[in-house]
Amino acid sequence: MDQRAALLRTLRREHGLTQQQLSERAGVSVRTLRALERDEVREPHLATLESLATALALPRGERARLLRTWAQVPMAPFERLFARTGVTDDEQVSRFLAEEYGKDIRYTHVSSRARISASRRMVECRYHAVILALEDGVRGTCLINAADPLVLPRVQLSDVHGCTVAGRREVPTLGLVIFGLQFARPLQEGESAVIDYTVLEPDDAGEPSHRVLRGSRRGMASLAVSVEFEAPPARLWQVTATAGREEVTGAVSREREPLVQLALKDVPPGSYGFAWDWEEPGT
């Protein structure tokens, strides 16, 4: 048995508790506790371990020892994101995006193709990305997808390759659904993962779409953005967003084009893509 699982079982028995009793005290399911003690859960949520440590009333040294045994395996970004206790999802996500998101990786190549339906909503977006590890032991990343709060529960991922979906959380107040993506194996510094996935959104609810932006805080070697319209908008223009500012970087088009594409190389940090109006101003 792994030393981590053995330590948890020993601590429970030293405190004279059955698995059922510890489960009830910690608010952790018996199934999860049994899996931990059998070493069947390699990367438990930090919040789960903290709940068990609190339920066992461990002194500071033993508490740190329990948490440290699992900390030797780096936790995935999605698990770190929702590991804090006593903090709202909004606060956790805002802090994560500002301080932690993407610290251990760099998107080197990204391409996306969005489809806007005749009802003016984005219903599909296909992604291809090459992700470079900036440190050892990188196990995955997070997909942060903005969507109308009305449709968040119905946003789905399909055709996932090169990774698996390891978690999902909706944050309605921020209009976000967050997916944890775990790579096929941990990456070492300098190694890359190639992933593909498709985001699907419903076509029968929510506000019309008005922009598609893609990018990275670290910059990329290449970026390709395509938007396909079933019913083209009245006006469309290329935009760039950096440091919270969005500016028009391409001429306004009124050609009602069904497909627009953008291809960039040596891309600085920021977001790039298209914005559009469905009606001419004043109509």
Is there a contact between 43 and 4 (Cβ–Cβ < 8 Å)? no
**How crowded is residue 151: how many other Cβ atoms within 10 Å of its Cβ?**
19
Sheet holding 192-200, edge to edge: 156-161, 192-200, 122-133, 105-116, 220-229, 259-267
Q: Are residues 164 and 44 part of one domain?
A: no
- Which of helix, strand or coil describes residue 70? helix
Is there a contact between 258 and 231 (Cβ–Cβ < 8 Å)? no
Q: Are residues 251 and 116 part of one domain?
A: yes
The range of the structural domain enclosing residue 55 comes to 3-73
Instruction: For residue 139, give both structure tokens.
Output: 């196990």
Q: Are residues 206 and 157 part of one domain?
A: yes
Residue 17 domain-assigned (yes or no): yes
pLDDT attached to residue 271: 92
Q: Are residues 233 and 127 part of one domain?
A: yes
Q: Are residues 56 and 14 part of one domain?
A: yes
The per-residue pLDDT for range 156-179, each reduced to its tens digit, is 999 999 999 988 888 888 889 999
Q: What is the mean pLDDT of the chain?
A: 86
Cα 79–chain centre separation: 10
Q: Does residue 78 have a pLDDT over 90?
A: no
List CB contacts of 162: < 8 A, sequence separation 6 or more. Answer: 183, 184, 193, 194, 195, 196
Instruction: For residue 257, give both structure tokens.
Output: 């084009």
pLDDT attached to residue 67: 74
> For residues 191-206, b (16+ Cβ closer than 10 Å) or e, as one string?
eebebebbbbbbeeeb
CATH number at residue 175: 2.60.40.3140
Helix axes 19-26, 46-55, angle to 10 degrees: 110
pLDDT attached to residue 281: 72
Residue 8 domain-assigned (yes or no): yes
Backbone torsion region of residue 270, taken as left when φ is above 0, otherwise alpha when ψ lies between -120 and 50, otherwise beta = left
pLDDT attached to residue 120: 95
The per-residue pLDDT for range 113-140, each reduced to its tens digit, is 999 999 999 999 999 999 999 988 888 8
Predicted confidence band at 64 (pLDDT cuts at 50, 70, 90)?
confident
Cα 176–chain centre separation: 10
Domains contained in the chain, number? 2
pTM of structure: 0.71
Side-chain half-sphere CA neighbours of 89 within 13 A: 12
Is there a contact between 82 and 58 (Cβ–Cβ < 8 Å)? no
Residue 209 domain-assigned (yes or no): yes
Q: Does residue 200 have a pLDDT over 70?
A: yes
Taking the C-alpha atoms of residue 139 and residue 134, their distance in angstroms, rounded to an integer, is 12
Q: Does residue 97 have a pLDDT over 80?
A: no
The per-residue pLDDT for range 206-218, each reduced to its tens digit, is 889 999 999 888 8
